[in-house]
Structure 1
């Protein structure tokens, strides 16, 4: 099965699905369709977070930060939050937190636990009609549904050198090509890609380009809700349009916050889209890639 004559989707879709997990197969097919529809990959900058080595891999502990030192300080906060007042057994964790705030440590061990600050690549797929919106297989609860109980599966990833699926391997090839053009190639020690959960943001078409206009969100619905909030509260208070335009913005807010799961809207001559950001970390024999020397770090 192919999606076209020689396109990326045709190369990646497996010919034999016997023994393949059906959910994984659907997600792979969705990824292949995306590669065909949005063939170009744009690196939009690295983020950093902290992880802990656990028996079956690495556990993400903190939100992401655009700077390595920000991730270190978030890890320090996490360690201190886990220390009960007067608990002398937690003293190694307190000392580790102090070291993270005063020295540029990307790896440390404390109280029998191992922590690392890691680098996450952010990438956006684009095609003839602009950046990629959310995919049908992305986790996207309706308003009020929340998350299912239990840990999020993408908060933890394996510690081995497993072979990536074909879509992830294709993503790595495109990433390496982009890095080579920019002169930011990763070390050869870290060349096994592991995909993490995607993020979502709002972009506006302006001056012939799509520009992000909001923060990152875990789900498409959170991004839609943020756009609806902008239409309902920010536009009236800051931009102060006329009554007719206010009514248009109010209608747009209702459409974006409803159950229709819209991923784009045009209002008052402006065009907005919910955009999907792919995220991956590169693994080596000893775990995920730490910050690079070339990464901006204000420590």
Structure 2
């Protein structure tokens, strides 16, 4: 195994040298520095999305919906909606619409993780979300992480997820440090008494059934540190600025309303938010004893001979399938009652 790792790392290094790309070298140096400053992995847990294998697009599995849902059923629901709107808007063929709606009907009744519709395979894909950590906590954005052009604090942007259309290719050249990370994660499995025996066993089994690792596009989020440690706050965002904007909006709008802040709390959060925004690319905001940090979030998906790993039996759902949209006939008529 050690010799295998060395051969693969040597190949990654040779590829980096061959490209002779100064920007790639700077990014790689940034990744090396981050691996030294934040050498540990802080595991958040499983996340779920939807992958698709469409012969018209090629033989590879690609992501249809971003891998960020906390439960498999959320991903099934997103596939339900995707197929319903595809039946509504993307076809005039009653036969094709009937097949799409039959798949929707299955998703309304059963917690299925794979369907084939009109020759296209859809699968709920399971990933793992994690962040790097060091002596000062979770890793913030790196200098080489891409920021949006014309970043705004006032204009809301509809930013597509970089997951959408992402090809799940275990052989992708992601760089030397990322390649080393993929090799290290091949044997990653849950350990320790905080995980039930069934969860640990399924995790070990996955290293055999789905041995290859794909690193998904990096995301960014907000983490809160208090006396109990770090915990995530909010959704996964595509750029550091989008995460900063999310934190600013939360401090000035969302949290005061949801948590029914007192006037003193509103004033404290408004003052902290103003300082945070004025700093431009700040990655931390503090309110009293609570620290908020913009964090770099990484995710992986396991691949086997037949594609991405689906949910495991021990993955938890808080609710089951349900009817999400009005009934539609094969001719496209929608019934609202």
Q: Same fold per TM (> 0.5)? A: yes
Q: Secondary structure at the match of 1:122?
A: strand
Say if 2:164 is the partner of 1:155.
yes
Q: How far 1:76 sits from its partner (Å)?
A: 1.2
Any residues of structure 2 matched to 1:278-297 within 5 Å, and which? 278-297=298-317
Structure 2, gaps ≥5 residues long:
1-9, 193-199, 321-337
With 288-297 and 75-84 compared, the bigger mean Cα shift is at 288-297
When the two structures are aligned, how many residues end up with a matched partner? Answer: 286
SS at match of 2:237: coil
Distance of 2:88 and 2:158 partners within structure 1: 29
Is 1:70 paired with 2:74? yes
- 2:43 is aligned to 43
Deviation at 1:46, TM superposition (A): 0.8
Aligned counterpart for 1:203 among listed residues 198, 223, 242: 223
How large is the Cα RMSD of the aligned pairs? Answer: 3.2
User: Following superposition of structure 1 onto structure 2, how do residues 51-200 of structure 1 map, counting pairs within 5 Å?
Assistant: 51-53=51-53, 54-55=57-58, 57-63=60-66, 64-84=68-88, 87-88=93-94, 89-141=96-148, 142-143=151-152, 144=155, 146=157, 154-158=163-167, 160-162=169-171, 165=174, 166-175=176-185, 179-182=189-192, 183=200, 184-185=203-204, 186-200=206-220
Indicate whether 1:255 and 2:275 are aligned.
yes
Q: Which stretch shifts more, 263-272 or 125-134? A: 263-272
Query: Could you tell me how far 1:234 is from its partner in structure 2?
Result: 4.7
The equivalent of 2:243 in structure 1 is 223
Closer/same/farther in 2, CA of residues 12 and 111 from structure 1, 3 Å limit:
closer
Deviates more, 1:153-162 or 1:268-277: 153-162
The two structures have a TM-score, normalised by structure 1, of 0.81
- Superposition deviation, residue 290 in structure 1: 1.3
**How far is the alpha carbon of 1:236 from its aligned partner?**
5.0
Cα 1:181/1:94, change in 2 over 3 Å: same
Match of 1:74, SS state, is helix
2:275 matched to 1:270?
no
Q: Secondary structure at the match of 1:155?
A: coil
Q: Highest relative contact order (Cα 8 Å, sep 6+), 1 or 2?
A: 2
Answer whether contact 2:221 2:232 (CA < 8 A) is retained.
yes
Deviations 1:107-162 (A, max 9, x none): 221112121110111011100000011122323222259579xx765423335552
Matches within 5 A, 1:236-255: 237=257, 238-242=260-264, 248-255=268-275
Give the 3 Å change call, closer, same or farther, for CA 14–176 of structure 1 in structure 2: closer
